[in-house]
């Protein structure tokens, strides 16, 4: 190769490398994080549905992608391994993950209320459940704690009821087929049994445990520490949307249709039982939950409020 050809080749190579480098630098500078949030199709994730439905998941500081899961174990595996950055999840499951060393932070509640204890029509009181089968979505769930509170209130021992874990979507059918005599679950699966006239409300959650915490919005702490601005924007937007969701207008109903298939009559009843405002995690209420976890021996040494809850972002948003 001549010196002239060699020099031209070297120049072309330099230009290509320089261009690629500049392009890569521009992409890194202008990029924003995409936050993957796991969820199960329940009304408890309604704020996320409405927000994504309204804004399409694109914001100035971040993009958001909702990732659907069919079971809590699958969702927790994705959260624990970092395949999603956050989740709308049962608070007890997140607390258990924290105990196991997964560094999660709860930044907001998913909702308030919105849990019912459903029974078959022949069940007139808690004592009628003795020797019967009762379904919960998970051992580490507020529904399990609500069951325990109901049994304690009416003088029935927990072990006198055959408590089984069952995917929420299976519970209405299991009740109608007499495979179970009752269940406690996230909505809309309680409303389904009532609307189909296959079951009845034995208790509302606030009858048993006023202000009970159920689903929370959690984020991996490694994501938070690397993305403070995006985290603040996410939580600020979440609070804004929660206030709109509480109006329970047609936009909220339409947003649910994008993420879960449920008849309007069922959804209307379900939304009567749930609220989306005031989603800051209160220390006293969290400590009541922690006390219940200890009392039921669900797991050892549940995380303290300071270890698990980060209200830094929601306090700035409110």
User: Is 137 found in the same domain as 96?
Assistant: no
Q: Is position 281 within any domain? A: yes
Task: Record the tokens describing residue 79, joined without a space.
Answer: 């959260």
Task: Record the tokens describing residue 23, joined without a space.
Answer: 């392009």
User: Is 224 found in the same domain as 293?
Assistant: yes
User: Is 190 found in the same domain as 163?
Assistant: yes
Q: Digits of tens for pLDDT over the chain (318 positions)?
A: 544 444 444 444 443 443 444 443 323 334 889 999 999 999 999 999 999 999 999 998 899 999 999 888 999 999 999 999 999 999 999 999 999 999 999 999 999 888 899 999 999 999 999 999 999 999 999 999 999 999 999 999 999 999 999 988 899 999 999 999 999 998 999 999 999 999 999 999 888 988 889 999 999 999 999 999 999 999 999 999 999 999 999 999 999 999 988 899 999 999 999 999 999 999 999 999 999 999 999 998 999 999 999 999 999 998
Q: What is the residue range of 156's domain?
A: 115-208
Q: What are phi and psi of 263, to 5 degrees?
A: -65, 145
User: Is 87 found in the same domain as 68?
Assistant: yes
Q: Is position 27 within any domain? A: no
Describe the strand order of the beta sheet including 115-119 as a list of residue ranges.
Answer: 162-165, 133-136, 182-186, 115-119, 200-204
User: Is 171 found in the same domain as 40?
Assistant: no
What does DSSP say about strands 182-186 and 133-136: parallel, antiparallel, or unpaired? parallel
Which of 166, 184, 208 is at the close of a domain?
208
Residue tagged 């993957």 (tokens): 36
Listed in sequence order, the residues at least 6 apart from 294 whose beta carbon sits closer than 8 Å to its beta carbon are: 302
- Strands (E) located in 150-228: 162-165, 182-186, 200-204, 215-220
């Amino acid at each position: 190769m001549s010196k002239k050809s060699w020099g031209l080749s070297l120049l072309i190579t330099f230009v290509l490398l320089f261009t690629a480098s500049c392009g890569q630098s521009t992409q890194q500078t202008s990029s924003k994080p995409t936050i993957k949030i796991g969820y199960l199709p329940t009304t408890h994730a309604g704020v996320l549905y409405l927000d994504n439905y309204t804004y399409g998941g694109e914001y100035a500081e971040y993009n958001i992608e909702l990732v659907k899961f069919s079971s809590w174990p699958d969702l927790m595996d994705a959260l624990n391994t970092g395949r999603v950055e956050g989740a709308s999840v049962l608070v007890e499951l997140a607390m258990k993950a924290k105990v196991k060393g997964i560094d999660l932070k709860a930044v907001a509640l998913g909702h308030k209320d919105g849990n019912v204890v459903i029974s078959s029509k022949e069940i007139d009181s808690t004592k009628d459940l003795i020797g019967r089968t009762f379904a919960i979505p998970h051992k580490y769930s507020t529904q399990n704690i609500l069951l325990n509170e109901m049994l304690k209130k009416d003088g029935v021992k927990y072990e006198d009821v055959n408590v089984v874990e069952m995917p929420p979507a299976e519970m209405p059918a299991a009740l109608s087929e007499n495979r179970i005599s009752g269940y406690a679950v996230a909505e809309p699966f309680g409303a389904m049994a009532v609307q189909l006239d296959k079951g009845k409300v034995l208790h509302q959650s606030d009858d048993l445990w006023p202000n009970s915490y159920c689903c929370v919005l959690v984020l991996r702490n490694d994501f938070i520490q690397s993305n403070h601005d995006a985290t603040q924007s996410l939580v600020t937007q979440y609070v804004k949307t929660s206030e709109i969701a509480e109006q329970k207008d047609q936009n909220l109903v339409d947003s649910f249709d994008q993420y879960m298939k449920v008849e309007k009559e069922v959804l209307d009843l379900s939304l009567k039982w749930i609220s989306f405002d005031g989603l800051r995690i209160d220390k006293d209420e969290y400590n009541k939950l922690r006390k219940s976890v200890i009392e039921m021996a669900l797991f050892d040494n549940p995380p303290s409020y300071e270890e698990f809850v980060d209200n830094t972002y929601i306090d700035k948003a409110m």
